[in-house]
Chain A
Amino acid sequence: MELSDRIHDAVNRVAPPPAGDPGLLFLRGQQRARQRRQGQVATGLGVVLAIVGLVIVQVVTPTMPSIVDQPGAVTLPLPERGGVAAEFVNGHPVFVVHDDRGQVRVLDAVDSHEPHGMLKVLAWCRTSQVFEDLWHGSRFDSQGRWIGGPAPTGMAPYRVLTVTDRNVVVGDRLPAPARARERDLPSGPSCDDRTALYLPNHPADPTVLDDLVIHTPPDGDTDLTYLTPERILGLDPRS
């Protein structure tokens, strides 16, 4: 017997199974179809809801009244981790601090020490990692806490509203913190003891500028000491 015949013969001789009920199988199939359709509807609804949610997040949210649109809220570029950037909030100089752990702070760059009613803008010294008053030597750590010098308080922080990968949105200026514990630091102008750059008739090391983050005025004059409020506002190149 040929193989094909043998297979055919074997199939023909298989004992038939007990009679089944096609009506029952059909109803079971139809029931599954209904469940499948219901599942598809539920899945479709889920997808629609997800899309709607995404649209709300992506499109609607920015147009809704939010913290970003609060009066006075300002968006500033975020420096890299470990970096400090000199920025302006409505023309007022601030520092944006993005520390190594990802924490973001925005600090008032104007020194709280105001001799004779005149203002000074602080500088960030990259090598010492402190904010310095290069005229009278007040110093503050990267969180704006006072650590030495004549300044009566720490640096006033701004309320941080939102932080994204690229930006930080800041709100109103908060009260300056009281002095913290004083550290043993040399007094007087210093960015690692290299400068009295802004002290008249004092020898200066111009390379210190490479280590400073300052609010460079549009006119290029890097003397940030004894400024009037108008001069402070004039530091912002957009003003």
Chain B
Amino acid sequence: VDDQESFAVFYRAHRDELHAAVTVTLGDHQLAVEAVDEAFVRAAERWDQVQDMDRPAGWVYRVAVNWATSWRRKWLRRPTLPAAALDQPHHDVLPDPDLAEQLASLPVGQRQMLVLHHALGYTVPEVAALLGVAEGTVKSRVHRARLTLQDRLGVEDGTV
């Protein structure tokens, strides 16, 4: 029961934030709902380990994005369905359609790093640890993604 309660506290504290972050990452509101719920189920499956992590919300975010990416890939491979139709994100529910469109053009790894760093407030070492890559890799990919988006969106420069 204690585990169930601690899980519920964690869920209520992070669910909306994670849903928003995954929505911006994927550009798909409904897929983000399913992905985040699936990631929370997986967290509950091994809650004794996840709750001891430094950043359990980051773990759920990563699992959600990976699950959704994998799900999309499988559906895009279905020969009997129009892949282009399935690939259409629901831009209409996103608060910033232009940003969503340009984010969607980036590799999913770069999107993840941008959202973790800028939206969820993780430091570069935390993002690196969460995604299992070197800090230098995070820095260079975030930098590259920012240059791309700044160029396409015409926004101001900033620092990572």
Identify the A interface with B (CB < 8 A): 1-17, 20, 22-23, 25-30, 32-33, 36
Contact = CB atoms under 8 A, between A and B. Distances in A.
Contact of A6 (B12, B17, B99): B99
B88 to A, nearest CB: 18
A13 B99 CA distance: 13
A26 B44 contact: yes
B127 interface: no
Contact of A22 (B11, B29, B93, B119): B11
22 contacts: A1-B156, A2-B157, A2-B158, A3-B155, A10-B94, A12-B20, A14-B20, A14-B94, A15-B29, A16-B16, A17-B16, A17-B29, A20-B11, A20-B40, A23-B4, A25-B7, A25-B41, A26-B7, A27-B4, A27-B44, A29-B47, A32-B41
Contacts of B119: 7-8, 10-11
Given A9-B96, A29-B44, A33-B45, A22 B7 contact: yes
Contact of A16 (B20, B40, B96, B156): B20
A3 B118 contact: yes
B19 A7 contact: no
User: Interface centre among B21, B115, B119, by most A CB within 10 Å?
Assistant: B119
Given A23-B8, A32-B45, 11 more contacts: A1-B156, A7-B115, A10-B24, A14-B19, A15-B29, A17-B16, A22-B40, A25-B41, A26-B44, A29-B42, A32-B41
A20 B41 CA distance: 12
Interface residues on B, range: 35 or more
B15 interface: yes
Which A-B residue pairs are the 4 nearest by beta carbons?
A: A29-B44, A13-B95, A14-B20, A22-B11
Contact of A20 (B15, B20, B146): B15
Contact of A26 (B8, B149, B150): B8
Nearest to A36: B45
Nearest to B3: A26
A4 B7 contact: no
A7 B4 CA distance: 33
B43 interface: yes
Interface string B85-96: 000000001111
B156 A3 contact: yes
B45 A30 contact: yes
B159 to A, nearest CB: 9
Nearest to A3: B155
B153 interface: yes
A15 to B, nearest CB: 7
A22 B12 contact: yes
A13 B97 CA distance: 12
Given A7-B118, A17-B16, A33 B46 contact: yes
A9 B96 CA distance: 9
Nearest to A11: B119
A33 B118 CA distance: 34
A49 B19 CA distance: 46
B43 A11 contact: no
A11 B20 CA distance: 5
B99 A7 contact: yes
A27 to B, nearest CB: 8
B13 to A, nearest CB: 10
A23 B12 CA distance: 11
A25 B40 contact: yes
B37 interface: yes
Contacts of B40: 20, 22, 25, 29
Contacts of A30: 44-45
